[in-house]
């Protein structure tokens, strides 16, 4: 009966004692979520089903964040469609501009996900919530539309891969660096439809922000989900947030994994993923000749207050290079407020940065920092595909907030160590 944490969560939600990789199961859901791009399609599917209402108004969330505040008429119409649906079904978790944020930071911060939950979202980076010890994964809008009506969906139980990170983290090496290094090691299809379970002393040392970052980018290795076993840091994070019941699961000592991959973190350099795949990870020392025109710090991957602090610590008292645009994207209104209280906003503005309202914006080439032909950006976002942030002949380099901030000052990719 031995199972991993992911298998235990799926078994519990399927009403089964045990599940095994490859099995097709039907599981009840604790939360379903859509955004301004995916929810309108899901709403159309929901209405074609003839459903009279959502399965549970307390377990459906819609977060307009990709092109909001509305950047054009089309984006305004998409959000209006979501708004009408939320009002019609009296959904308490429709997060309009002003109380909204970037979905994968907002949802856990609002306490809508807890340990042991099963969650789907019509966005590939829904795997972020695995940092809380939940099973969470992205689905298509059709699956979301059906799930909003019935409160369950089907899954194929994924294979299980265990990652063990040991050793102390060197200066400026963060969760972002660990996941970039990992993807570089196994490739963008190295965990295809598998569960990536992150364990080891280096993971235990990470704060929740670092764990969210790692689980957020599990999809960039092709994974079905990423997950971190809950511990004291998890419990401290959910205290006062999660208002409904939750269940703590852990993998059995003799649980079966398709692979166990060990990574020594003690000698790692901060990482930079070169265009045009996240797997093109190299040590930052190998990127020092890359001049940049833009630095983006934020997004669902690295827009939390801890990320803002890391960037501000580098930028404070310095100036952004004259040839660089530095764009700060805090993930929620609460993060913005905390930035003001801690003086981070002042540090960013005095350094020559622009601070945006919470939005996905340039991550998907939407707005607030689209690249022109030939431009290069360093970004704390999660993807650097061709044309991801703008012109198909632009380039995106992925890195942590500290590396992005240092690069903004240097005018080229570099490390805070070079600024001392």
Predicted confidence at residue 264, as pLDDT, reads 96
Predicted confidence at residue 364, as pLDDT, reads 85
The answer to whether residues 3 and 19 touch, using CB atoms and an 8 Å cutoff, is: yes
> Mean pLDDT over residues 149-158, rounded?
96
Residue 243 pLDDT class (50, 70, 90 cuts)? confident
pLDDT > 70: percent of the chain: 100
Residue 55 pLDDT class (50, 70, 90 cuts)? very high
Predicted confidence at residue 98, as pLDDT, reads 87
- When mean pLDDT is compared across 100-109, 361-370, 394-403, the lowest value belongs to 361-370
Predicted confidence at residue 47, as pLDDT, reads 93
Predicted confidence at residue 45, as pLDDT, reads 94
More confident residue, 255 or 68: 255
For residue 368, how far is the Cα from the chain centroid?
A: 19
The answer to whether residues 118 and 100 touch, using CB atoms and an 8 Å cutoff, is: no
Q: Is the pLDDT of residue 137 over 80?
A: yes
More confident residue, 420 or 81: 81
* Domain 5-242+254-262 listed as CATH 1.25.40.10: no
* Domain 272-419 listed as CATH 3.30.499.10: yes
Three-state DSSP state, 409: helix
Report pLDDT digits (tens) over 274-331: 999 999 999 999 999 999 999 999 999 999 999 999 999 999 999 999 999 999 999 9
Report pLDDT digits (tens) over 199-222: 999 999 999 999 999 999 999 999
* Residues contacting 391, CB < 8 A, separation 6+: 370, 371, 372, 373, 374, 375
Predicted confidence at residue 169, as pLDDT, reads 95
Residue 363 pLDDT class (50, 70, 90 cuts)? confident
Rounded to whole angstroms, how far apart are CA atoms 333 and 106? 9
Q: What is the mean pLDDT of the chain?
A: 95
Tokens for 72, please give them.
Answer: 């054009």
- Give the DSSP letter of residue 124: G
Predicted confidence at residue 362, as pLDDT, reads 87
Q: Is the pLDDT of residue 1 over 80?
A: no
Listed in order, strand segments (DSSP E) in 51-187 are 60-63, 93-94, 118-121, 135-138, 152-156, 159-166
Predicted confidence at residue 226, as pLDDT, reads 98
The answer to whether residues 269 and 170 touch, using CB atoms and an 8 Å cutoff, is: yes
What sign for the dihedral angle of Cα 326, 327, 331, 336? positive
Which residues of the chain are in CATH 3.30.499.10 domains? 5-242+254-262, 272-419
Residue 52 pLDDT class (50, 70, 90 cuts)? confident
Q: Is the pLDDT of residue 197 over 80?
A: yes
> Mean pLDDT over residues 334-338, rounded?
96
Three-state DSSP state, 273: strand
**Half-sphere CA count of 221, side-chain side, radius 13 A:** 29
């Amino acid at each position: 009966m031995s199972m991993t944490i992911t298998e235990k969560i799926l078994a519990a939600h399927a009403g089964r004692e045990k599940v095994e990789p490859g099995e097709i199961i039907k599981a009840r859901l604790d939360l379903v979520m859509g955004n301004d791009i995916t929810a309108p399609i899901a709403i159309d599917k929901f209405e074609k089903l003839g459903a009279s209402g959502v399965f549970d108004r307390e377990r459906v969330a819609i977060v307009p964040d990709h092109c909001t505040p509305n950047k054009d008429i089309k984006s305004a119409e998409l959000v209006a469609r979501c708004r009408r649906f939320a009002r019609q079904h009296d959904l308490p978790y429709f997060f309009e501009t002003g109380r909204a944020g970037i979905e994968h930071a907002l949802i856990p911060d609002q306490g809508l996900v807890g340990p042991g939950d099963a969650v789907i979202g019509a966005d590939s980076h829904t795997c972020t919530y695995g940092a809380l010890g939940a099973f969470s994964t992205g689905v298509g809008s059709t699956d979301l539309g059906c799930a909003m009506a019935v409160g369950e969906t089907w899954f194929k139980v994924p294979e299980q891969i265990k990652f063990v990170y040991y050793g102390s983290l060197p200066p400026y090496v963060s969760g972002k660096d660990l996941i970039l290094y990992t993807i570089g090691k196994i490739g963008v299809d190295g965990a295809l439809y598998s569960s990536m379970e992150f364990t080891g002393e280096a993971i235990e040392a990470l704060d929740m922000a670092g764990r969210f970052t790692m689980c957020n980018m599990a999809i960039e290795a092709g994974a079905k989900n990423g997950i971190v076993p809950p511990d004291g840091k998890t419990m401290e994070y959910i205290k006062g947030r999660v208002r409904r019941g939750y269940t703590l699961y852990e993998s059995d000592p003799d649980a079966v994994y398709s692979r166990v991959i060990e990574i020594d973190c003690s000698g790692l350099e901060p990482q930079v993923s070169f265009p045009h795949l996240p797997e093109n990870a190299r040590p930052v020392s190998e990127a020092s000749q890359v001049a940049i025109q833009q630095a983006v710090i934020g997004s669902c991957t690295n827009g939390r207050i801890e990320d803002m602090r890391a960037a501000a610590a580098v930028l404070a008292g310095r100036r952004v290079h004259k040839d660089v645009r530095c764009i700060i994207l805090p993930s929620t209104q609460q993060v913005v407020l905390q930035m003001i209280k801690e003086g981070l906003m002042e540090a960013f503005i005095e350094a020559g940065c622009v601070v945006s309202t919470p939005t996905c914006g340039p991550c998907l080439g939407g707005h607030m920092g689209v690249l022109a032909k030939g431009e290069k950006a360093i970004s704390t976002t999660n993807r650097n595909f061709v044309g991801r942030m703008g012109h198909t002949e632009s380039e995106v380099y992925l890195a942590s907030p500290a590396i992005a901030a240092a690069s903004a000052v240097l005018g080229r990719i570099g490390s805070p160590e070079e600024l001392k």
